[in-house]
Structure 1
């Protein structure tokens, strides 16, 4: 959602005349939302103002998205140019394409609406497919009308604080020799409460009943109480059955029942005296097949709710549960359907009524005739299972043909419109000639301000649709509804709780080319660069999942040898559509947090198919967005009930990642209370150590952590330290080492205890050595920040300056080894470009809030300098700044093709002889290089690199470079020397040799 919508503007009284004049009142749109037809705009406006934001004034204005009412929006003046009024409107785009819109009295959107025809392209934001206004408006009106047509069902779904208006009394009922209504009551160990239920039945004002009581294998005195009751009440029919399900006991009672109608009593509800008279009377008089009474429900706060179930099938599906004690139905209808489904372990009442409603309508009796006495509700998992049975036709889904090459994405919509919009636009944005993506968004009981804009957005894409369901469904059941409607060869199951992974779907789909693979999941990481989940693994003896490789550096997961894992653990997974439908999708009994894990276990056990993690398909989430996996999780317990034995493959997964399991322990989750009286939930943690090869030629394979001062995120990735560390890591990897680059946010990761060597690339941050590791420090910048105590705390110290190494080492009494900076010959070599074909004078580097000496001197002598870097706005005119950032992979081409490349050093670096990394990169390219004077320059580069002190010395170097610099052949010879003696590979060999020696010591 745009920033403007996060805070609501103060209330502004509506100006009817301004709203009408703005053109942002569409009376057809208002009428479609309210189910009305207006003859004039003023009629529509009056009704709109009465609704107080229950509908929007125009298809392209949504108050919740704009964060203000239409009156406030129209009164904001120029601020309207910065406010997004709708997910499908980019106000800045209107202004870019039509500058005159800025002068409109009521803002750019009003201007556009006044000019738009049916064929006008809507000014949609970037990433949204172009759509014509006539098509979009028609889709909006259709969605609004469809929503209003279900408004009665939505209202019927809600319980109310106010008692319903009573239904009039029915005619009097006959009382004959045979009972007109049979009451079914099942009891189990309910001796003390059985008498209360019988008393409530005997208190009924209608007496033409029989009470069939089934003792469902009680162990207490229920049998004796039932025998005594039957002895004094001839209308009580006792029945005893062995202990079994409630459905079986009720079916046994139905077999004994004689009445035309049947009602269901229980110990959790209390009938009022008029219950049977009113309910059976209405059925008898109207000829209806079944009826449901209103019920009073007390709440925890001491108040009460009143619940009435509507008559249509949609009403039944829209309820979270069904109170069978409020139902009276013709007995022959129940017996024709075979009674209750005995395969169910709960919610069999809801299932029965849903089956009954396929042929008959439930009559709502709006009189409070039942009081709920037991606050306990049905298990929501059973309710979800029953609703799925009646909403998802897996057989029909299995017959639906699947389009080869098509990828279907199923997404349960979030009440947070911005999250769902982000997923829709990023998922469908790559659509091109070769892309075949289908998007099915399932919206469960969405509010108007989410459903209608979302329906409009989906209408802009040819293979996207919104399924707005009436029931309040969980994510797992919503996903199954979407799966059954897909047509893709591969189905991606996703959640809006995380941001969509960019370009990840292709890699996931490609992993399913292997017929042995059933599920593919991305590598799930956090922003600093640690693994959040590479799948699910399990400890021995119990099915308690934990996130595989959680807390390890991403480099460990990227180096996976065997990518199979026992089960997936990710908000996004890809599965073949046919396999998914054959397995009937997610098991809704698992709840909404772990259905992917259960699906993976089920496919592995039943089909022998594997789950794989795809490191190339990475997605970033916050660790808390992953499912809870501690002992207090009800979904974990449900998983253990379904699969008591863990699936195989956990130890093999660790081995494939280069680790061996040495033990397991249970830990309290982060942030849990840890006082002496606290008993927090626990989560498992596998203890591992790196595996070592028994026989290996050459140096041993060690684990390295390269510690840098750069922060996490895209900004930190552009720091020079980050580029340097990545190149060094690649060089060490080529030597068989396992390397992770830790920015400052990863410095305290627990998994660093598994590393052998910690190499601190000393920049802005001082780093405390890690006990038990080989601790190396390489001072490559900011020498003023390093003191003697820091040097003494490391096992070995290197410095990118010969003079500083000698001076600092002598002062501290510590041996400091000179190790100059270096270059990556793969990126910097003479073959990257042709000399003198690019910028005559080039500088690449950030300003760092100073006017760099080399740039200032070059401009002072009239040179045309091309600058690439950030923070130059305060020093240079915009025409001199070619870009704010250059990819490291492109730098070599810039250096090779430049006439002259400029370089200078920070004062402390120049004073202490720290040769800049840029010197080695430019020299390796064979380019002409001008630098300020610094100790050690001539020893490394000879006279090939030219130096300057001021503008006087700069002028001849730039005026005639051919005369001022050595020949190209001489520069090529220097390039060969730099590549041979000052590469990252050479530095990696030195570091590895020293680390092995220190480890052996």
Structure 2
């Protein structure tokens, strides 16, 4: 049914930019609807098509798929007369696809903001053959970050399954020999050359078999931990019916050929392996059981959330969805949404045009206050809680607006003190900005581009203080940002935009990163999230001084003093901390200043 020779011949004609997302569907209309809704609701970062394969579904599901196809031009629908199972159904979907990069996605999943750009980024490396996201159960615990093998069974099992989704052990980038195809990104060329999924497997083991054929049993696969996808595992009908046959076939093909790699992870992570148990006694009697480890973790993982809420509705001042890539507030909200998802909380991002949408029952409304005020006429309809997190432009928020909230979080110790003296109705808590440690971390050094003096910011048609200082002293900068025409030398501006998913590598590869703040933020004690982002990658940071900046952060940076030249300040910034000290600072940022830690602080205050 699949002409692999023709597909091989057509590889060079595939669209270089297009991503083909293949969703194979057999029944379960409700979950499929949620899956497709999440695909088109959240940022993709790349042009994409969705190949929906109706694998002989029931009438309700078939009708749903036709309705989606009719209203969404990016969907291409393939209707099979009967259930072709996972392997053949996805192979048929692939044959219809046109992109050079392929994502296989289960219909019992829900994607989160920035999932696709994060998932695809590792494929830019030649030594990576496939990528999966951090798959979490609806309660936020880990379903799979990658598959590992033991020496006690030929069958792979998911590493650190059931750990909290924000546990430090599941934030690290790792290499695997196999991944799950519940959500799997792979190059079209690799998929074709392997001959696709083997239809001899019936809804089980076909993904591991594919990975071993593509990668030859080498650790050439990875998990993009900054891509988070919820997986309602086990909701696909008939999923476990052929387990014995699938395992028997897999063992016949691979037993004794794949060395165990699970212990390497545990030794590296300081996790004690206390032994193994079988996943099924009946399968053990047939010699087809998977060996599942019993593990003892070093210290606590993470605390559970308990603030009486079912989800977050994040209100951001970005006017429209099509402008999101230009607004830092969107990336801030996306990171907070992913942290919530990793804790089992649904998260929705509302752009300014969506602010009139009422919150659902049990949702906590979080207004990430930037330039736009909250419309006072839009009162809470369902009696839920609404809080503000002031992360910038404190001078633009009136006391009248602040009194509309149930609690005020403010990203400045200084401004929290000022507000506390105004007699406002809501309670006030200082809550600094932070960083997405799954993205901004020491692993960003791998393959990082080199810049001598890096400056990343939009001018907003003002000559920023750090750039003005550099120009006055003739210190050339590598600038990335918008609206620098006529303000900075043309040859200094290297680009208008760096994709957020690539930004960590730019920071990590710089000899020094320079940063400044808007005057209102600097004077009122608002430390920008760029400070946390840069430090999390282990890069030297030179920044202007912020009023009331916590001493621990001041010591991690180098402050630009008016009494010292920029040249000398850069030299100090580069030599102030050794590489090992910068690594320690990055680990401290990951521990104390992540979105997960801020979410825990919010929930602790509201509990």
Indicate yes or no: 2:67 matched with 1:569. yes
1:433 aligns to 2:10 (yes or no)? yes
List aligned pairs for 1:377-456, cutoff 5 A. 404=3, 433-434=10-11
Could you say which residue in structure 2 is the equivalent of 1:776?
A: 387
**DSSP 3-state at the match of 1:889:** coil
SS in 1 for 2:360: helix
For 2:40 and 2:395, locate their aligned partners in 1 and report how far apart those are by CA, in whole Å: 31
Match of 2:325 among 717, 741, 747: 717
Quote how far apart the aligned CAs of 1:702 are: 1.0
What are the Cα deviations for residues 341-367 of structure 1, in whole angstroms up to 9, with x where unaligned?
xxxxxxxxxxxxxxxxxxxxxxxxxxx
> Are 1:791 and 2:402 an aligned pair?
yes
Q: Which runs of 5+ in 1 are unaligned?
A: 1-401, 408-429, 438-460, 462-500, 536-542, 546-562, 581-610, 619-655, 658-696
- Alignment partner for residue 708 of structure 1, among 302, 316, 319? 316
Decide which of 492, 495, 512 is 1:883's aligned counterpart.
495
Match of 1:918 among 503, 517, 530: 530
Mapped pair 1:764 → 2:376: no
Question: Which residues in structure 2 correspond to 1:530-609 (within 5 Å)?
Answer: 568-570=66-68, 571=70, 572-576=75-79
Tell me whether 1:507 sits opposite 2:22 in the alignment.
yes
For residue 937 of structure 1, report the CA deviation from its aligned partner.
2.5
Deviations 1:617-657 (A, max 9, x none): 99xxxxxxxxxxxxxxxxxxxxxxxxxxxxxxxxxxxxx89
Which residue pairs with 1:222 in the alignment?
Answer: none
Q: Structure 1 residue 967 and structure 2 residue 575: aligned?
A: no
Which of 514, 519, 523 is 1:907 aligned to?
Answer: 519
TM-score of the aligned structures, taking structure 2 as reference length = 0.54
- The yes-or-no answer on 1:730 pairing with 2:338 is yes
Corresponding residue SS for 2:432:
coil
1:816 to 406, 419, 428: 428
CA contact (8 A) 1:705 1:755 kept: no
Residues 196-248 of structure 1 deviation map (CA, whole Å, 9 limit, x = unaligned):
xxxxxxxxxxxxxxxxxxxxxxxxxxxxxxxxxxxxxxxxxxxxxxxxxxxxx
Paired positions, count? 370
Question: Structure 1 length as normaliser, TM-score?
Answer: 0.34
1:993 and 2:600 equivalent? Answer: no
The residue number in structure 2 matching 1:807 is 418
- 1:488-499 pair list within 5 angstroms: none
After TM superposition, give the deviation of residue 916 of structure 1 in Å. 0.8
Contact residue 841 and residue 899 of structure 1 kept, 8 A:
yes
1: distance between equivalents of 2:512 and 2:447? 10
Specify the SS of the correspondent of 2:603. Answer: helix
Shift in CA distance, 955/759, structure 1 to aligned 2, threshold 3 Å = same
Report if aligned partners of 2:449, 2:505 keep a CA contact under 8 Å in 1: no
- 2:507·2:537 contact (CA, 8 Å) conserved in 1? yes
Could you tell me which residue of structure 2 aligns to residue 943 of structure 1?
A: 555
Residue 937 of structure 1 aligns to a residue whose secondary structure is coil
Q: Alpha carbons of 1:808 and 1:878: their partners in 2 closer, same or farther (altered >3 Å)?
A: same
Distance 2:18 2:487 in 1: 37
CA distance in 1, matches of 2:445, 2:38: 37
In the TM superposition, residue 837 of structure 1 has moved relative to its aligned partner by: 7.1
Change (3 A) 1:578 1:698: closer
In 1, the alpha carbon distance for the partners of 2:605 and 2:368 equals: 16
Partner of 1:932: 544
- The residue number in structure 2 matching 1:828 is 440
Q: CA deviation at 1:976?
A: 2.2
Larger Rg over CA atoms: 1
C-alpha distance 941-574 of structure 1, shift in aligned 2 (>3 A): same
Question: With CA pairs under 8 Å and 6+ residues apart, which has the higher RCO, 1 or 2?
Answer: 2
Q: Structure 2 matches for 1:206-245, cutoff 5 A?
A: none
CA distance in 2, matches of 1:899, 1:970: 15
**Structure 1 residue 863: deviation in Å?**
2.0
Secondary structure of the residue aligned to 1:909 is helix
Give the direction of change, closer, same or farther, for the CA distance of 1:785–1:406 in structure 2 (3 Å limit).
Answer: farther
Q: 1:568 to 1:992 in 2, by over 3 A?
A: farther
Q: How does 1:666-685 map to 2 (within 5 A)?
A: none
Paired residue for 2:285? none
**Alpha-carbon distance, 1:529 to partner:** 6.2
- Cα distance 1:904–1:703, how it changes in 2: closer, same or farther (>3 A)? same
Where does 1:122-161 land on structure 2 (aligned, <5 Å)? none
CA gap of 1:617–1:502, structure 2 versus 1, over 3 A, is farther
Q: Give the distance between the partners of 1:431 and 1:616, measured in 2 at CA.
A: 30
- Aligned twin of 1:980: 591
- 1:381-425 CA-to-partner distances (Å, cap 9, x unmatched) read xxxxxxxxxxxxxxxxxxxxx665799xxxxxxxxxxxxxxxxxx
DSSP 3-state at the match of 2:402 = helix
The whole-number CA distance in structure 1 between the counterparts of 2:417 and 2:389 is 14
Shift of 1:744: 0.8
Aligned partner of 2:461 in structure 1 is: 849
Q: CA deviation at 1:861?
A: 2.1
- 1:959 CA displacement: 4.7
Structure 2 matches for 1:239-638, cutoff 5 A? 404=3, 433-434=10-11, 503-504=19-20, 506-508=21-23, 511=24, 523=36, 568-570=66-68, 571=70, 572-576=75-79
Q: Secondary structure at the match of 2:486?
A: coil
2:483 paired residue among 848, 871, 874:
871
Maintained 8 Å contact 1:759/1:776? yes
Q: Partner residue of 2:473? A: 861
Counterpart of 1:643 in structure 2 is none
Task: Report SS of the residue matched to 2:598.
Answer: helix
List runs of 5+ in structure 2 lacking aligned partners.
Answer: 44-51, 53-58, 84-105, 114-231, 234-303
- 1:971 and 1:526 map into 2 onto residues whose CA distance is 38
Q: Deviations over 1:721-779 (max 9, x none)?
A: 001111111111111111111111221125x2345210111111111452411111110
Q: Matched residue of 1:863: which SS?
A: coil
Q: 2:449 touches 2:506 (CA, 8 Å); kept in 1?
A: no
CA drift at 1:829: 1.9
CA distance in 1, matches of 2:13, 2:464: 51
Report deviation, 1:524: 5.7
Distance 1:907 1:969 in 2: 33
Tell me if the contact between 2:557 and 2:573 (Cα under 8 Å) persists in the aligned partners.
no
Q: Given that residues 728 and 984 in structure 1 are in contact (C-alpha distance below 8 angstroms), is that contact kept between their aligned partners in structure 2?
A: yes
Structure 1 residues 568 and 528, CA, compared in 2 at 3 Å: closer, same or farther?
Answer: closer
